[in-house]
Amino acid sequence: MTIVTADRYNAFHEVWDEISHAEGTLAGMTIAIKDNIVTKTGTTTCGSRMLEGYKSPFDATVVSRLQNAGATLVGKTNCDEFAMGSSTEHCAWGPVRNPWDETRVPGGSSGGSAVAVAARLCDCALGSDTGGSIRQPAAFCGVVGYKPTYGTVSRYGLVAFASSLDQIGTFSTTVEDAARVTQVIGGYDELDSTSNPEPLPNVTSELRTPINNLRIGVPSQYLGENNEPAVTEAVLQAIETYKELGATIVDVELPLTDVGISTYYVLAPAEASSNLARYDGIRYGHRTSEPCTDLFELYAKNRAEGFGEEVKRRIMLGTYVLSSGYYDAYYNNALRVRRLICQEYQQAFHKCDVILGPTAPTAAFKIGEKTDPVSMYLNDVYTANTNIAGICGISIPCGFSEEHGVKLPVGLHLQSAWHDDATLLRAAQMFETATPFHLETPEQSS
């Protein structure tokens, strides 16, 4: 059991010190919880002033399942406000720092969870992934980040950002831990209307059996000019490793890769604008101390003071694309593209079991480096479509970039078809067993 000691990276918003003495399959495992997943212990703030000091009256399903399995929950990790971001700079409690280089971001929005595991402050952490928020920070921090198929893990108690895309998943140092924890938190939950009613397959039992004749699809769209050379290099090396393990590489095409971001930035803000309407400062959220003459002014002041800039931008964007006159042009069109993206993946998965590429086009960037929102959004170019299609994806360590004068981790992104998580995890396990990258820690490199 690893226990949080010092947190110089601002990974945690709260550290708890209760140790679980319960028995169960996760007894002895320390697990941190992203601050947008509700817990009766402590507070749940979503990295926002809007929810400063908020105490949930109930535990999320994933939280009670972890406790019942004997895990020790160590605290709440910092995230971008309401999980909107790719750097964990947009957190009301300050930016989170990357342990490989403290002048750099850990990725986001689940940056605190990624750092907690990368710095070995705990064994595992939960995050949420709406467009890449588990996989991209896992890549930037050199750990395993797994987003299960939509509906595998209950969203009950996950503070909603974009409900048709949100999914809870894990950060860990090994694929095996990702599978073990998912076995506990996954499976049907009647409290989530989109929870998959099928029994959860036993992903852990066959994890260590390599897949014979694994077919890996490598879309040309994933290895283009956008990537920094060290990222493409590490991915090409990973392809060689898989070939040595007996895998067959097949060409697949995902031409809609580059429209993923524009589709995501219609769908996700649309859902967010609706989900975040509840923070009016009356039922939930920050209440202004300024005098107000009417109810509208009270709402306006509460929301103006409580929300940060990025969240306001998303609410305005979402309200715009849903407004009459623009609904068809933006929201309905994005839904049509969503269907095409799903079909494109389905066709690709006729030819292969796993799609492989980089998790993000670059290694971790500097804190403060990305000042315009679009350059930040482009970080999710390889991860957003996974959520749009609802399929599963994982980022695993596959090497390092030395391009920036420091050693920075590079993540390998694997995706599998809807509910084919067992194949995804087995394919990831094959790579991990054959390579040393997951064993390196930031302490060794500093």
Q: Of residues 207-226, which lie at the interface with ligand GLN (CB under 6 A)?
A: none
Q: Which own/partner pairs from 347-351 qualify as long-range (CB within 8 Å, at least 24 positions apart)? A: 348/217, 348/219, 348/252, 348/253, 348/254, 349/217, 349/416, 349/417, 349/420, 351/215, 351/217, 351/250, 351/252
Closer of 109 and 416 to ligand GLN (Cβ): 109
Q: Of 171, 48, 87, 167, which is closest to residue 121 (Cα–Cα)?
A: 171
Q: How far is CA 12 from CA 26, 67, 127, in A?
A: 22, 19, 13
Starting at the edge strand that comes first in sequence, how are the strands of the sheet with 144-147 ordered? 12-15, 72-77, 30-34, 124-129, 167-172, 144-147, 392-401, 408-416, 354-358, 215-217, 248-250
Closer of 36 and 72 to ligand GLN (Cβ): 36
Closer of 218 and 268 to ligand GLN (Cβ): 268
Give the integer Cα–Cα distance in Å for 41 and 18.
10
Stretch that binds ligand GLN, among 27-35, 126-134, 218-226, 351-359 (CB under 6 A): 126-134
Q: Of residues 159-178, which lie at the interface with ligand GLN (CB under 6 A)?
A: 161
Stretch that binds ligand GLN, among 2-10, 111-119, 122-130, 169-177 (CB under 6 A): 122-130
Radius of gyration of the chain (CA): 20
Among residues 44, 72, 77, 109, the one that binds ligand GLN under rule CB under 6 A: 109
Stretch that binds ligand GLN, among 61-69, 125-133, 254-262, 276-284 (CB under 6 A): 125-133
Closer of 164 and 445 to ligand GLN (Cβ): 164
Give the integer Cα–Cα distance in Å for 64 and 27.
14
**Per-state percent for the chain, helix, strand, coil, to nearest 5:** 40, 15, 45
Stretch that binds ligand GLN, among 96-104, 123-131, 388-396, 404-412 (CB under 6 A): 123-131
Residue 104: DSSP 8-state: B
Residues labelled as active-site residues: 34, 109, 133
Q: Of residues 256-285, which lie at the interface with ligand GLN (CB under 6 A)?
A: 268
Closer of 399 and 411 to ligand GLN (Cβ): 411
Closer of 130 and 385 to ligand GLN (Cβ): 130
- In the complex, the smallest distance separating the C-beta of residue 109 from ligand GLN, rounded to whole angstroms, is 4
Q: How far is CA 192 from CA 128, 136, 167, 296, 308, in A?
A: 15, 26, 12, 33, 29
Note if the bond before 109 is cis, omega within 30 degrees: yes
Closer of 314 and 426 to ligand GLN (Cβ): 314
Which residues have CB under 8 Å from 181's CB, separation 6+? 26, 29, 31, 66, 71, 124, 126, 170, 172
Q: Of residues 335-394, which lie at the interface with ligand GLN (CB under 6 A)?
A: 380
φ/ψ (deg, to 5) at 72: -100, 115
By CB under 6 A, is residue 420 in contact with ligand GLN?
no
- In the complex, the smallest distance separating the C-beta of residue 101 from ligand GLN, rounded to whole angstroms, is 21
By CB under 6 A, is residue 83 in contact with ligand GLN?
yes
Instruction: Convert residues 128-147 into a mask of x (bound to ligand GLN by CB under 6 A) and - (unbound).
Output: xxxxxx--------------
- In the complex, the smallest distance separating the C-beta of residue 144 from ligand GLN, rounded to whole angstroms, is 17
By CB under 6 A, is residue 427 in contact with ligand GLN?
no
Residues near ligand GLN (CB under 6 A), total: 14
Instruction: Convert residues 84-103 into a mask of x (bound to ligand GLN by CB under 6 A) and - (unbound).
Output: xxx-----------------
Which residues have CB under 8 Å from 359's CB, separation 6+? 132, 135, 136, 138, 139, 145, 382, 383, 395, 411, 412, 413
- In the complex, the smallest distance separating the C-beta of residue 25 from ligand GLN, rounded to whole angstroms, is 28
User: Quick one: tokens of 156?
Assistant: 């009950």
Which residues have CB under 8 Å from 372's CB, separation 6+? none
Give the integer Cα–Cα distance in Å for 234 and 230.
6
Closer of 361 and 399 to ligand GLN (Cβ): 361
Stretch that binds ligand GLN, among 39-47, 63-71, 82-90, 169-177 (CB under 6 A): 82-90
Residue nearest ligand GLN, Cβ-based: 133
Binding site for ligand GLN (CB under 6 A): 83-86, 109, 128-133, 161, 268, 380
